[in-house]
Amino acid sequence: MTTKSSVTRRTLLKSAGAAALAAPLYSKSALASSGEVNILMWSDYLPPSFIEGFEAKTGIKVNYTGIGSNEEIINKMKATKGQGFDIVSPTNNRSLQWGPLELLKPFDMSKVNIDAVNPAMAKIGTDAWNFEGAGVHWLPHIWGTEGIAYRTDKWLPAGDAPSYGDVWAEENAGKTMGRAHSMMLGAGLYMEASGEMDPGSVWAAYSSEDKMREVWGKITDWCMARKSRIKLIWNDADTQKNGLLNEGVVVGQTWDGPPLALKAAGEPVHYQAPVEGATAWVDGMSMPVGAKNEEQVYAFIDYAFGQEAAGVAIDSHGYNSPVLGADTYSGDVYKKNFAEAYPGDSLANLNPWPAEAPWYAEVRTEFVNKFKSA
**Shared domain check, 185 and 73:** no
Res 97 pLDDT > 60: yes
In a domain, 5, yes or no: no
d(C-alpha 214, C-alpha 237), whole Å: 31
Q: What pLDDT was estimated at residue 34?
A: 83
Domain of residue 165, CATH code: 3.40.190.10
Res 175 pLDDT > 60: yes
The closest alpha carbon to 10, from 128, 147, 143, 146, belongs to: 143
At residue 231 the predicted structure's pLDDT band, cuts being 50, 70 and 90, is very high
**Shared domain check, 55 and 158:** no
Q: What pLDDT was estimated at residue 32?
A: 53
CB 93 within 8 A of CB 355: yes
For the chain, what percent of residues have pLDDT higher than 70? Answer: 91
**Mean pLDDT of all residues belonging to the chain:** 91
Res 133 pLDDT > 70: yes
**Shared domain check, 356 and 215:** yes
**Shared domain check, 361 and 216:** yes
In a domain, 303, yes or no: yes
CB 273 within 8 A of CB 341: yes
d(C-alpha 363, C-alpha 368), whole Å: 9
Res 21 pLDDT > 50: no
Average pLDDT over residues 149-157: 98
Res 14 pLDDT > 70: no
Average pLDDT over residues 50-63: 97
Average pLDDT over residues 345-361: 92
d(C-alpha 332, C-alpha 346), whole Å: 20
Average pLDDT over residues 244-248: 97
**Shared domain check, 359 and 223:** yes
CB 70 within 8 A of CB 44: no
Res 28 pLDDT > 80: no
**Shared domain check, 231 and 367:** yes
Q: Tens digit of pLDDT for each residue in 190-213?
A: 999 999 999 999 999 999 999 999
**Shared domain check, 193 and 176:** yes
In a domain, 345, yes or no: no
**Shared domain check, 196 and 154:** yes
Average pLDDT over residues 123-141: 97
The structure's pTM equals: 0.86
In a domain, 120, yes or no: yes
- What's the per-residue H, E or C state across the chain? CCCCCCCCCCCCCCCCCCCCCCCCCCCHHHCCCCCEEEEEEECCCCCHHHHHHHHHHHCCEEEEEEECCHHHHHHHHHHHCCCCCCEECCEHHHHHHHHHHCCEECCCHHHCCHHHECHHHHHHHHHCCEHHHCCECCEEEEEEEEEEEEECCCCCCCCCCCCHHHHCCHHHCCCEEECHHHHHHHHHHHHHHCCCCCCCHHHHCCCCHHHHHHHHHHHHHHHHCCHHHEEEECCCHHHHHHHHHHCCCCEEEEECHHHHHHHHCCCCEEEECCCCCCEEEEEEEEEECCCCCHHHHHHHHHHHCCHHHHHHHHHHHCCECCECCHHHHCCHHHHHHHHHHCCCCCHHHCEECCCCCHHHHHHHHHHHHHHHCC
d(C-alpha 142, C-alpha 46), whole Å: 10
Res 170 pLDDT > 80: yes
d(C-alpha 273, C-alpha 161), whole Å: 7
Res 2 pLDDT > 90: no
Res 5 pLDDT > 50: no
**Shared domain check, 196 and 240:** yes
Res 253 pLDDT > 50: yes
Q: Identify the domain containing residue 246 by its residue range.
A: 145-279+350-372
Res 145 pLDDT > 80: yes
23: number of Cβ within 10 Å:
9
Res 236 pLDDT > 50: yes
In a domain, 13, yes or no: no
d(C-alpha 302, C-alpha 23), whole Å: 15
In a domain, 130, yes or no: yes
**Shared domain check, 307 and 201:** no
184: number of Cβ within 10 Å:
22
Res 7 pLDDT > 80: no
Q: Tens digit of pLDDT for each residue in 41-56?
A: 999 999 999 999 999 9
**Shared domain check, 359 and 217:** yes
With a CB cutoff of 8 Å and minimum separation 6, the contacts of 171 are none
With a CB cutoff of 8 Å and minimum separation 6, the contacts of 279 are 145, 146, 147, 182, 185, 186, 350, 351, 352, 353
d(C-alpha 258, C-alpha 95), whole Å: 25
**Shared domain check, 304 and 183:** no
In a domain, 246, yes or no: yes
Number of domains the chain contains? 2
Average pLDDT over residues 59-72: 96
At residue 33 the predicted structure's pLDDT band, cuts being 50, 70 and 90, is low
Report strand pairing: 139-151 vs 279-285: antiparallel
